[in-house]
Amino acid sequence: MLAEKAPNLKGIDLFEADYHSLEAARTNLKANCPNVPTRFFWQDLTSEETRDKYDLIVMNPPFHETQAADPALGAAMIKAAAKALKIGGRLMLVANRGLPYETVMPETFKEWGETCRNARFKVLWGKR
């Protein structure tokens, strides 16, 4: 969907710590966006920095590794995304409505806000 909505898209870099999820994403993008340049990185962003810096990062940060919720994991992903952005770069993230990411946003971004929310989800943005 992002590829369809972004006419100036130069490419997509997809980061995923879980190998099987990365391969599923590769199959999905190949089937649905065959003409979009795409790179895939099997990488844990909570412990490994990205090689490149980005203008825009779109994410749905994980908040659990097992069944138990751990909002600190999502907060770590938000901080990692901020480090991967160019100065002036933007983050867009979707999260479950009850997750407390509003506390990490002002610590991490020069500007931030909420785009929208419904009964289950919210979309936040940050500008580095």
* DSSP conformation letters of 2-38: HHHH-TT---EEEEESSHHHHHHHHHHHHHH-TTS-E
* Residue 3 falls inside a structural domain: no
Q: What is the end-to-end Cα distance of the chain in Å, rounded?
A: 24
Same-domain status, 20 and 64 = no
Beta-strand pair 111-117/54-59? unpaired
Give residue 6's pLDDT band: very low, low, confident or very high (50, 70, 90). Answer: confident
Q: What gap in Å lies between CA 35 and CA 50, rounded to an integer? A: 24
* Residue 114 falls inside a structural domain: yes
Same-domain status, 70 and 37 = no
Q: What gap in Å lies between CA 89 and CA 72, rounded to an integer? A: 23
* Residue 116 falls inside a structural domain: yes
Same-domain status, 81 and 99 = yes
pTM of the entire structure? 0.88
Same-domain status, 68 and 103 = yes
Domain coverage including residue 38: 11-44
Q: How many domains does the chain have?
A: 2
pLDDT tens column, 41-90: 999 888 899 999 999 999 988 765 555 567 888 899 999 999 999 999 99
* Residue 40 falls inside a structural domain: yes
Q: What gap in Å lies between CA 45 and CA 18, rounded to an integer? A: 11
Same-domain status, 68 and 16 = no
* Residue 6 falls inside a structural domain: no
60, 95 in Cβ contact below 8 A? yes
Residue 77: CATH number of its domain:
3.40.50.150
